Amino acid sequence: MPIGSVCADGAWVDDVLLGGDGRDIVLHLGEPVDRSELRRLVVEQQGRLVAAGLTPSGTVAVRLPPSLACIVSMLAGWRAGAQVTLLDYRLTTHEIGKAIARLAPQLVVEPVGEVTGTLRGFFDVHTRVTPLRGGRPARSAHVLLQLSSGSTGPSKVIGRTLDSLLAEIERYGRLDGFPRKGERTVVLASIIHVLGLVGGLLYGLAAGSQVILPARHTVDGILKAVAAGEEPTTVLGVPSQAAVLAAARNPPVLPQFHRMITGGELVKADVRERFTRGYGAELGVMYGMTEVGVIATDLTGADRPGLTPAPGVRVRVEDGEILVGLPESPYVGQTDPARFVDGWLRTKDAGSLDDAGRLTVHGRLDSQVSVGGLKVDLAEIEAFITGLPGITDAVVLHDSGIEAFVAVRERTVFDGLAACLAARLAPYKRPRTLHLMAEIPRTATGKPVRDVAALRAAVRPAAGV
């Protein structure tokens, strides 16, 4: 469908996402959901939102865990012609309060009771619709508002227009090797963040690729979801989930397991080798941002470290920084005016383009610091530490000096780490402080937290490791 050929009055939901044969199974959350049933549920929830006061160009925040109710509520909001804000259900009451005050939605859809459970792939929840005093109608043409991951500091409000969402859905459809109609996608990435939302849910509904949310994000739960159908199956997740699958001993033979595609941080070489050997499946990678969606890909894992820019995406590198061309700023409200200039978004990621146009992502641009007048790449040190035997995860940052936050399999590995680094790293590259962690805290999208204060606070509970 040509971009911009539908209006943001809600008709696009039926035209792009809910149209087609009503008998087709489009979702599987424990039980199959066909297109006809999904349409019925969306229309019913739209009626509830309208009865609570939602009007075209109104605003509704959806604060629900991954669930059929979450999918239905966001589609119902869009079908009503409203601007939908997606809030992570794992945010604290304080964080939710700050987000609500900042965004001022007119309605909030939230669970009736407390949501608990770790490693759950989806939940069965009852919802309530709450009108909010002081809520405002949409003040921009964005159909979707999201908060950035907050891995490096306070979250930004990011808006996506209808054209932007449709363009990204179209980009996925033009990627050679991405799931097609009649295939299956097991979505491990959060459906309220860009990879799981657009690459998994919205693209799957538009393309006719069945979207499966496994009951649990354990090795057994993921592989059961893959084995539940005979169609070619792609798993969509983050590198830490690929590492969990790669660590499984004697994984079953699953001929339908075509590939896994990860977004976010880079995949470690040893994880890739164990994964591809164990499952006989490809392990592809994607580079993207909440502001843009998918930017560049290597869906087979064959072109490492280079990635091919996604169809229709303009990418260039200036002074070592990756820039992405956009028709307008994705930010809503106050933000750094230097972040989007003359149609180019500064990603704050370091990268390079080769003669063939392949993009290599070198890590965060702010990972390059000066120590005693010498340039040090923190990403290089971090990659070195995570590659050592017995290290499960690490984050390296610079504050008053270089600090490494490290998770290990055994305490003895940590006890010998300083001597190991002294023998292998130049003195100016060595972390001044090593912090032992039970695990590295991660954002809702699976990225390691890189806020120094947050990591230092997380060190305290790890003292007994």
- At residue 45, the pLDDT reads 98
Burial of 246 (0-12, 13-18, 19+ CB in 10 A): buried
Helix axes 219-227, 239-246, angle to 10 degrees: 90
| Location of structure tokens 């809520």 | 135
Which residue in the block uniquely carries the two structure tokens 């604290």? 92
User: Would you state the CATH architecture of domain 165-366?
Assistant: 3-Layer(aba) Sandwich (3.40)
Peptide bond into 431 cis (omega under 30): no
Residue with tokens 């003669």: 355
Q: Hey, what CATH class is 11-149 in?
A: alpha beta
CA distance 20 to 403: 54
**Which of 23-32, 40-49, 69-78, 347-356 is the least confident region?**
347-356
Mode of pairing for the β-strands spanning 31-34 and 433-437:
unpaired
What is the pLDDT averaged over residues 217-246?
A: 95
Nearest Cα to Cα of residue 30 among 114, 121, 105: 121
Q: Tell me what the pLDDT averaged over the chain comes to.
A: 89
pLDDT recorded at residue 230 = 95
Tens digit of pLDDT for each residue in 376-409? Answer: 878 888 888 988 888 988 999 988 889 999 998 8
Question: Which two three-digit tokens encode residue 450?
Answer: 């890189």
DSSP letter for each residue of 194-217: HIIIIIIIIHHHHHTPEEE--SBS
Q: Which of 304, 270, 283, 276 is nearest to 389 (CA)?
A: 270
Q: What would the two tokens of residue 246 be?
A: 């790669």
Provide the token pair at 53.
């006061």
Strands 210-212 and 233-237: unpaired
Q: Is 167 helix (H, G, I), strand (E, B) or coil?
A: helix
CB 296 within 8 A of CB 270: no
State residue 151's pLDDT score.
46
Within 109-227, where are the H helices? 162-174, 194, 203-207, 219-227
Instruction: Kindly state the helix (H) or strand (E) to which residue 377 belongs, with its residue range.
Output: strand 374-377
Please name the amino acid found at residue 38.
L
pLDDT of residue 7 exceeding 50, the answer is no
Q: Which residues contact 198 (CB under 8 A, 6 or more apart)?
A: 165, 168, 169, 172, 293, 294
pLDDT digits (tens, 9 = 90+) for 311-361: 999 999 999 999 999 999 999 986 778 899 999 999 988 899 999 999 998
Confidence of residue 147 (pLDDT cuts 50, 70, 90): confident
pLDDT digits (tens, 9 = 90+) for 159-203: 999 999 999 999 999 999 999 999 999 999 999 999 999 999 999
322: amino acid identity, one letter: I
Identical fold for domains 11-149 and 372-464, yes or no, is no
**Mind listing the pLDDT tens digit for each residue in 349-373?**
889 999 999 999 887 776 777 776 6
Tokens of 304: 């490492």
Task: Give residue for tokens 């035997």.
Answer: 389
Q: What is the pLDDT of residue 461?
A: 46
pTM to 2 decimals? 0.83
pLDDT digits (tens, 9 = 90+) for 268-307: 788 899 999 999 999 999 999 999 999 999 999 886 678 9
Contact residues for 103 (Cβ-Cβ < 8 A; gap 6+): 59, 61, 85, 145, 157
How many CB atoms lie under 10 A from the CB of residue 2?
7
For residue 3, pLDDT over 60 is answered with no
- Amino acid at residue number 183: E
Query: For the chain, what is the radius of gyration of the CA atoms?
Result: 22
Summarize the confidence of residues 95-124 as an average pLDDT: 89
Maximum mean pLDDT: which of 9-13, 49-53, 119-123, 381-385: 49-53
> What is the rounded distance in angstroms from the CA atom of residue 60 to the CA atom of residue 372?
51
What are the tens digits of pLDDT across the range 399-455?
888 999 999 888 888 999 999 998 888 888 899 999 998 888 887 667 788 888 889
pLDDT at 374: 67
252-271 pLDDT, tens digit per residue, is 999 999 999 999 777 878 88
Which pLDDT belongs to residue 152? Answer: 46
Q: What tens digit of pLDDT does each residue of 51-65 get?
A: 999 999 999 999 999
Structure-block tokens of residue 219: 């090795």
Range list of H helices, 252-377: 269-279
What band does 465 get if pLDDT is binned at 50, 70 and 90? very low
Q: Which residues contact 107 (CB under 8 A, 6 or more apart)?
A: 49, 52, 53, 54, 58, 59, 60, 61, 129, 130, 131, 132, 135
Whose CA is closest to 314, among 292, 337, 286? 292
At 419 the pLDDT is: 92
Question: Which amino acid is located at 352 in the chain?
Answer: S
What residues does each domain of the chain span? 11-149, 165-366, 372-464
The H or E element spanning position 243 is: helix 239-246
Q: Which fold has domain 372-464?
A: GMP Synthetase; Chain A, domain 3 (3.30.300)
CB atoms within 10 A of CB 130: 14
Question: 89 CB contacts (<8 Å, ≥6 apart)?
Answer: 63, 64, 65, 111, 115
